[in-house]
Amino acid sequence: MTELTVTARRAVVLPWRTVVALVPATALGAIALGWPLLADPDSLAARMATATPWLMALLLPLALLVLLSDLADGGMPATTVALLGALAAVVAIVRPLGGGVAGLEPVWAVIILAGAVLGPGFGFALGTLGLLTSALLTGGVGPWLPFQMIIAGWVGCASGIVPWRRLRTGWPRTLGLAAFGAVAALAAGLLLNLWFWPTASNLPAVLAFDPTAAPLARLSHLLAFTVATSLPFDLPRAALTAALLAVATPTLWSSLERAARRAHLR
């Protein structure tokens, strides 16, 4: 068996019980974030969106508990859960370091690199658990937290889905991860805008949410809103994430693979 095959099997997959628990939370997140672009304010999706943060706040921790239970009982040793806990602690520690300063958030580099090396299941779990832990430690709990958790989980999962190991080691993989990190950081800022953009007041017409507009017109308004409000924070976040991944990937990739071998991830 080649080294590539052995390494590719060392990843945390999502057991079926976890998938069943995560699907409602992910669907609610997609409805709550996506309805301003597609649905009318009087639609069922829009009415569900008002209660979605609280439903997600209940479902996401429950899904994480199911995932941790599956990791512990599904043939993976306690070292797997310990590795997830250690990296979640790293996320909780590094997140406040740049928070509030021009959008500089080094946490995204940790989530993306862990998902790339350890798989989509691990990436999703680390994103959601890390953001939850950080919010509890720093007092950043609010209606925005479920959206931050689900977006971070999506970023970590997406990083794990990309077949990074098909790229040659060295600069091709490093530059690919850096580019992915920049795009993911920008996308995260855009998605997070969706949860409060429809209720923002005193906006110029070109930036405001218009429920009577066509979907493409709503999207153009959202992009204009993002450029005018959050882009000065999103661009530094994307640049920092790309720079950290460019610098850290050559070393930390090998370190995470060694940790995966010690944790017997499959």
Question: pLDDT for 87-99, tens place per residue?
Answer: 888 888 888 776 5
Mean pLDDT of 112-135: 87
Asked, for residue 1, whether it belongs to a domain, the answer is: no
Mean pLDDT of the chain: 79
**Domain annotation covers residue 121:** yes
7 belongs to a structural domain: no
**Average pLDDT score over residue span 68-82:** 61
Contact 59, 26 (CB under 8 A): no
Domain presence at residue 2: no
Burial classification of residue 266, based on how many CB atoms lie within 10 Å of its CB (0-12 exposed, 13-18 middle, 19 or more buried): middle
Domain membership of residue 136 (yes or no) is yes
Judged by phi (left if over 0) then psi (alpha if -120 to 50, else beta), residue 264 lies in left
Average pLDDT over residues 102-120: 86
**Is a pLDDT exceeding 80 seen at residue 5?**
no
Q: Is residue 107 part of a domain?
A: yes
Q: What is the pLDDT of residue 263?
A: 62
Mean pLDDT of 212-238: 92
pLDDT for the residue 1: 36
pTM greater than the 0.85 cutoff = no
Whether residue 5 lies inside any domain: the answer is no
Q: Residue 17: which CATH number?
A: 1.10.1760.20
Domain containing 237: what range? 12-263
Number of domains in the chain: 1
Amino acid present at 252: L
Query: Distance (Å, rounded) from C-alpha 126 to C-alpha 241?
Result: 17
User: What local confidence, expressed as pLDDT, does residue 226 receive?
Assistant: 94
- Whether 124 is in a domain gets the answer yes
